[in-house]
Structure 1
Amino acid sequence: MRYTYYILMILMMFACGGNDSAIQKANMLSQEIGKRFAPDGREAIYTTSFSMSSNGSLVVSGETSLPKAKLALFSSLEELNVHLVDSLVMLPEDKMGNKIWGLINLSVVNLRSHPKHSAELVSQAIMGTPVKVLNKKNSWYQIQTPDKYIAWVDEAALNLRTKEEMMDWRNAKRVVFIPHFQVAKDEKGQETITDIVAGSILEVQKENSKYLLLNLPDKREIRLNKSDCMDFDLWKSKEIKEPAILTQLAKEFMGRPYLWGGTSSKGVDCSGFVKSVYFMNGIVLARDASLQFLHGDTISPEQGFRDLSEGDLVFFGRKATENKKQRVTHVGMYIKDGEFIHSSGRVKINSFDPEAENYSNYRTVTWLGGRRVLNRLGEEGIVRVSEHPWY
């Protein structure tokens, strides 16, 4: 209703001001649609521009990854009563052909803000992660990961698949690698093929009483101990009966170095840390701290840390003032008894309790509240792997 109201107000405003151009009207309409469908550019692509052709047509250019946004835009622009020329690219582009899906092909790959190695490392993805391929520039692919995050990856990191090939992968017998890190060798256990990290998803080729012969996404073969792997269907269906299981896994990261953009057992940033802990328990969280802050039941700072429960996410940053908006810059996971575990320099445990030896005054005064995600499983930003269509 609010969206419809804004559109009507824009049209009425420009109906009374005949001197304003169709381009100005179109830009305002597009901005409102962008706010509705693509409020955060990290999770959706929606860029538009407008120009008038020589014959008076309104040319709509740009690109989007959201079919519904494009449909809403052109529906709104029809109210301007001008001829429309559709030059808005729908991603994935046609030049991608039918291979618009892929699997991460290396143990851990770096996701960049732009298609070049010198661009900011914004996130990572681990082997066997299914991704949607949106675009290509030179040897770089723009991809979207299961948490909706959009970034660029070099071609060596990706094994392209068709929709049918992805379906075959989903129907194949798969396992999840459980230990934090290992070097994987060939079938005879002699030559090193790759390294591998926790959460990697691999296809089973054959097995015996002790070993599994597994296919990497590019069909390289590795041998792993059965005891280091868990059947994918069993893993994705397991329940978090007690939040203590989250704490136990989180503590296994203790001392692991902080890595900006890191989301693997090799190194993690703050949101990558809690994301990894939850993913190893079959739950896909949103990528960044500010995105994770948008999901789950709210525990406000006024309620105090004693209202937090084990497994809750705790957020920190700049509190709102008269001149500045609140800004989320850090996240950790609450354990109990006033303690939380987080990646800050390294993965460590601090406390909200001023009497505790590991008390952090800095984190306490910048605490923005908590989010209880275990009560909201299956909702936006807190998706079970078992319910995610990409897996």
Structure 2
Amino acid sequence: MTLYKKILPVVVLFLTINHSCYSQQDSSTYRKIVQSIESARKIYAPDKRTKLIELKHADIIQKKYSIQTTESIATEYLQKEFKQQGIEVEFIQLPDETVGDTKIGVVNLSVANLRTQPSHSAEMATQVLLGTRVDILQKSGGDFRVRTPEGYIAWVPTSSISPMNQQDFELWNKREKVIYTEEFGKSLSQAAVNSLRVTDLVYGDILALDKRAGDYVQVSYPDNRKAYIPASEVEPFDEWLSSRNPTADNILASAKTMMGLPYLWGGTSVKGVDCSGFTKTSYFMNGYIIPRDASQQVLAGEKIDILDENGDFDSAKALKNLKPADLLFFAMSKGTRENPRVTHVALYLGNGEFIHAAGTVRINSMLRDAKNYDDFQTRTVVAARRYLGSGDSQIQEIAKSNYYTN
């Protein structure tokens, strides 16, 4: 995402506070718990988008507190802290009991929209494509809290996900799959072009293959719906995966297929992309899972020197040191605060040009005499990273991810 406004929600705190009914000691206990949680976050969950430590319930009058977390090591840390302080706290490990034994989900829609809170009106955080596995951590009303293959945690309507237990998922996972390789399309109720649509489809959607039917293939959705897709629009997933060749040329070719797509906050599909969703999708099309947001992507890969001694963009250094498919990072607050937060990312094309999602997916130049020079982006550039060949574990091969393969 371009701005790190996306702070994963703290589940509603049930604070029944009557100032005439609790003592200073009770209030002090609450403050100690909050302070301990903040200390634990700094150590075990510094990025709320991927790891959670939350105060779920606080009843100061009844002296009942509960903390939920995805990190068992944080539970151990806090238990020791509270034992020393004589404070009793209940700990809830995510996934929790609200999901039972269905702790795995597979996306049911062409594109599932994940949000920062369990509400249709909440800010969109990211998207996940049909057929992708997610971890189900929690259920609240009509929403699941899930973790995506890149580790991102957010909320999604239960209707977007097929929940499965381990046995059900293993059966699904063993089935032969196909991946949709056109930009846009649809699945049909019959093997005929004029039959009713089952769902829309986008590049990267994955379905189970039932059988071939002439010019069509019959497929199954994770929730067992059946549909037909023109055979020319899909490829066996294993063949697609083995054919990925993540060279700079291929990554940039994939990026250019998204030229003109609209900017969509939280978007990671050909329906619309934000800046980091665009770079993420460009690498996904070539067999890699990379961190979700720009402020996370800048922490991966090999650092490339493109700044002068004052921290300003140096075009001569950039032209010399950058290679195609490197990532360029920008910060809107550069020059106004120390250590400005990364808010934008682009892919370097070569010869001073870069491609990025800003309004639409477009190409600009960092060279002042170029017709497509972007002065604002050049003034706010703060870093560059090289992913190809870096060996960074944050850059995962799809072929080695249990979210996509057996």
Fold shared by both chains (TM-score > 0.5): yes
CA distance in 1 between counterparts of 2:57 and 2:254 reads 51
Task: Evaluate the alpha carbon distance shift between residue 255 and residue 54 of structure 1 in structure 2; reply closer, same or farther with a 3 A threshold.
Answer: closer
Determine helix, strand or coil for the equivalent of 1:359: coil
Unmatched runs of 5 consecutive residues or more in structure 1? 1-20
Partner of 2:364: 350
Tell me which amino acid in the other structure corresponds to 2:131: G
CA distance in 2 between counterparts of 1:65 and 1:81 reads 23
Displacement of 1:213:
1.1
Tell me which amino acid in the other structure corresponds to 1:68: I
Partner of 1:142: 145
Q: Which one scores higher on RCO, CA 8 angstroms, separation ≥ 6? A: 2
Tell me which amino acid in the other structure corresponds to 2:364: N
Displacement of 1:132:
0.9
Partner of 2:289: 284
Tell me which amino acid in the other structure corresponds to 1:133: I
Unmatched runs of 5 consecutive residues or more in structure 2? 1-27, 308-313
Of the three residues 323, 335, 354, the one matched with 1:309 is 323
Partner of 2:42: 35
CA distance in 2 between counterparts of 1:228 and 1:270 reads 27
Partner of 1:18: none
Q: How is 1:1-391 mapped onto 2 (pairs within 5 angstroms)? A: 27-48=34-55, 61-78=66-83, 80=84, 82=86, 85-189=88-192, 190-208=195-213, 210-240=215-245, 242-302=247-307, 304-306=317-319, 307-318=321-332, 323-377=337-391, 379-380=393-394, 382-391=395-404
Tell me which amino acid in the other structure corresponds to 2:109: L
Q: What TM-score does the superposition give when structure 2 sets the normalisation length? A: 0.83
Tell me which amino acid in the other structure corresponds to 1:347: V
Displacement of 1:324:
3.9
Q: What TM-score does the superposition give when structure 1 sets the normalisation length? A: 0.86
Determine helix, strand or coil for the equivalent of 1:183: strand
Determine helix, strand or coil for the equivalent of 2:350: coil
CA distance in 2 between counterparts of 1:253 and 1:51 reads 47
Bigger mean CA deviation after superposition, 32-41 or 252-261: 32-41
Displacement of 1:168:
2.0
Residues 191 and 213 in structure 2, CA contact (< 8 A), matched pair in contact too = no
Displacement of 1:320:
5.2
Displacement of 1:321:
5.2
Tell me which amino acid in the other structure corresponds to 2:273: V
CA distance in 2 between counterparts of 1:143 and 1:196 reads 22
Displacement of 1:27:
4.8
Question: What number of residue pairs does the alignment pair up?
Answer: 367
Displacement of 1:196:
0.3
Residues 114 and 120 in structure 1, CA contact (< 8 A), matched pair in contact too = yes
Identity of aligned residues (%): 34
CA distance in 1 between counterparts of 2:202 and 2:48 reads 29
CA distance in 1 between counterparts of 2:224 and 2:251 reads 33
Determine helix, strand or coil for the equivalent of 1:166: helix
Query: Which string of whole-angstrom CA distances, capped at 9 and with x for unpartnered residues, describes residues 341-376 of structure 1?
Result: 111111100011112111111111111121111123
